[in-house]
């Protein structure tokens, strides 16, 4: 197993990332295929569902990546935007903004997500790493807590009744 940083996805890795992303589409709230892109803020106003998250994937591919690979094949990925200007609780921070993380189902539970975050902490030039998820994503939130992210902002019912958007930030020492 390798954890590698890839500033620009290679063509082969892009194909493998696409396969993992498309298979996970329905696990996201809302589904990625109902979003215009990776940083969209109006998460309730969804366009009609496309069958696959084509637009989301194209935007994501312009970002930087940390990949988990086995024999050079991608089994999990984290995409992020370096030097992203994020406003949380009225304050502006420049951060590495993690837009998407997926681990292929058969490789979950092996701490690959933790390892990809650790890689990002070690190679980012930003003072902060930030991400957002939905309040019911207990798996991701458990990992963020474990890695010393703090809850920076909650947008109540942003994704439907009882489903908040939660922003998490971690300072890089
Ligand atoms: C969330 C996700 C990326 C986690 O990947 P993973 O590599 O299996 O996570 P890890 O193995 O690094 O998990 C580390 C810890 O989180 C816990 N965890 C992971 N997924 C969990 C879940 N669904 N529910 C509860 N705990 C979970 C693990 O038990 C482990 O806990 P421990 O260290 O206390 O034993 C993966 O489940 C996934 O791809 N989900 C679909 C997409 C998604 O939700 N992405 C995040 C939103 S952008």
Q: Which atom of ligand 1 is nearest to the CA of 142?
A: 16
The number of residues making up the chain comes to 173
Which is nearest to 61 in space by CA: 22, 119, 23, 115?
22
Superfamily of domain 2-171: Gcn5-related N-acetyltransferase (GNAT) (3.40.630.30)
Rg of the chain, C-alpha, whole Å: 15
Phi-psi category of residue 71: left, alpha or beta, with phi > 0 → left and psi -120 to 50 → alpha = left
pTM, rounded to two decimals = 0.94
Which is nearest to 32 in space by CA: 22, 42, 17?
22
How remote is the CA of residue 63 from the centroid of ligand 1, in Å? 22
How remote is the CA of residue 110 from the centroid of ligand 1, in Å? 9
| 33 Cβ contact list (under 8 Å, min separation 6) | 25, 49, 50, 51, 52, 53, 54, 56
Domain residue spans in the chain?
A: 2-171
How remote is the CA of residue 139 from the centroid of ligand 1, in Å? 4
Residue 151: DSSP 8-state: E
Share the mean pLDDT of the chain: 94
Q: What is the pLDDT of residue 46?
A: 61
**Per-residue pLDDT tens for 15-64?**
999 999 999 999 999 999 988 777 777 776 565 567 899 999 999 999 99
């Amino acid at each position: 197993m390798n954890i590698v940083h890839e500033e620009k996805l290679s063509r082969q890795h892009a194909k493998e990332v696409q396969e993992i992303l498309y298979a996970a589409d329905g696990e996201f709230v809302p589904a990625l295929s109902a979003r215009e892109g990776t940083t969209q803020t109006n998460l309730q106003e969804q366009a009609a569902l496309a069958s696959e998250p084509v637009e989301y994937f194209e935007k994501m591919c312009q970002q930087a990546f940390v990949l988990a690979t086995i024999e050079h094949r991608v089994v999990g990925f984290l995409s992020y935007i370096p030097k992203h200007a994020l406003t949380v609780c009225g304050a502006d921070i420049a951060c590495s903004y993690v837009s998407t993380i997926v681990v292929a189902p058969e490789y979950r539970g092996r701490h690959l997500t933790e390892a990809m975050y650790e890689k990002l902490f070690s190679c980012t030039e930003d003072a902060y790493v930030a991400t957002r998820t939905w309040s019911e994503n207990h798996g991701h939130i458990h990992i963020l807590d474990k890695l010393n992210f703090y809850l920076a902002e909650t947008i109540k019912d942003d994704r439907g009744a009882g489903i908040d958007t939660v922003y998490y930030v971690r300072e890089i020492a």
